[in-house]
Amino acid sequence: MNEIIVAGIGPGHPDYILPAAARAIHEAKVLVGGRRALAQFARPQGEGQLTMAVTGNIDSVMQFIRENLELSSVVVMVSGDPGYFSLLDALRRHFPPACLRVIPGLSAMQLAFARLALPWHEARLLSFHGRVPAEERLAHVPGAVLGMLTDRTFTSKTIPAVLLAHDWPPETRLFICARLSYEDEQIVATTLSGAQKLPEMGGVILIAVDETEEKERDCK
């Protein structure tokens, strides 16, 4: 039975993709993904792999998958982990879950917390990517940790302003995590108030930590 294999490709660098996902992508006869993912992981043209780039026209992508699913399984590449703000939602609206097989991946959010050696099991994860979180999700709670997805509108400058307007302390630590997993990866440590003085960055991960009493320690 043909199936739709939803493969998480991690935060970007091939070192962070699971072997199961890499194998599914390599063996795929039909491969769907963003242009950057196709350029990075698809087989060279002429090697028997039919591809389609995901654009804003999701309906055409779903139609392409449906038509090709009659002949072969289809591998759909999504950045990060399929279960975290990915095309998986749309696929579930168009196809029954029994048609889907998901290969998990490492999300940029996970990698950001790992880079900071910061547990995230109690973190509040928010997305400002094309949306605004509900008011109650933005409320300040002492000791809270936020992990936030950004876009070109909600950025490293505008999101701290939103949090300050929701009574987060200006001295709340803020980590701006950009290009995670790549050679030019950058993590900037600042505060909610200090972020206003730094260059604006979108498409990054922001982590806010309200732990003002915690003192920095060395590794000894």
Q: Of 106, 131, 159, at which residue does a domain stop? A: 106
Residues 70 and 119 in one domain: no
Residues 183 and 131 in one domain: yes
Residue pLDDT, tens place only, 13-61: 999 999 999 999 999 999 999 999 999 999 988 788 999 999 889 999 9
Decide if pLDDT at 185 tops 90.
yes
Residue pLDDT, tens place only, 64-87: 999 999 999 999 999 999 999 999
Q: Of 52, 76, 106, at which residue does a domain stop? A: 106
Q: How far apart are CA 38 and CA 53, in angstroms?
A: 7
Tokens linked to 8: 């998480």
Q: Of 106, 129, 149, at which residue does a domain stop? A: 106
Determine, yes or no, domain membership for 29. Answer: yes
Residues 121 and 48 in one domain: no
What CATH number should be reported for the domain holding residue 83? 3.40.1010.10
pLDDT the model gives residue 219? 59
Q: Are 101 and 91 in contact (CB under 8 A)?
A: no
Determine, yes or no, domain membership for 214. Answer: no
Decide if pLDDT at 93 tops 90.
yes
Residues 39 and 113 in one domain: no
Average pLDDT over residues 179-189: 97
Q: Any idea how long the chain is?
A: 220
pTM above 0.85, yes or no: yes
pLDDT the model gives residue 45? 84
pLDDT the model gives residue 215? 47
Residues 77 and 150 in one domain: no
**Structure confidence at residue 220 as a pLDDT band (50, 70, 90):** low
pLDDT the model gives residue 142? 94
Decide if pLDDT at 213 tops 80.
no
pLDDT the model gives residue 218? 58
Residues 181 and 102 in one domain: no
pLDDT the model gives residue 43? 92
- State which residues form the domain around 25: 4-106
Secondary structure of residue 120 in the 3-state scheme: coil
Tokens linked to 163: 């949090």
Residues 115 and 202 in one domain: yes
Residues 136 and 90 in one domain: no
Q: What is the CA radius of gyration of the chain?
A: 19
Q: How far apart are CA 33 and CA 46, in angstroms?
A: 18
Number of domains in the chain: 2
Nearest to 175 by CA among 135, 139, 148: 148
Residue pLDDT, tens place only, 100-156: 999 999 999 999 999 999 999 999 999 999 899 999 999 999 999 999 999 999 999
Residues 9 and 102 in one domain: yes
Residues 86 and 99 in one domain: yes
pLDDT the model gives residue 212? 55
Determine, yes or no, domain membership for 216. Answer: no
Residues 97 and 158 in one domain: no
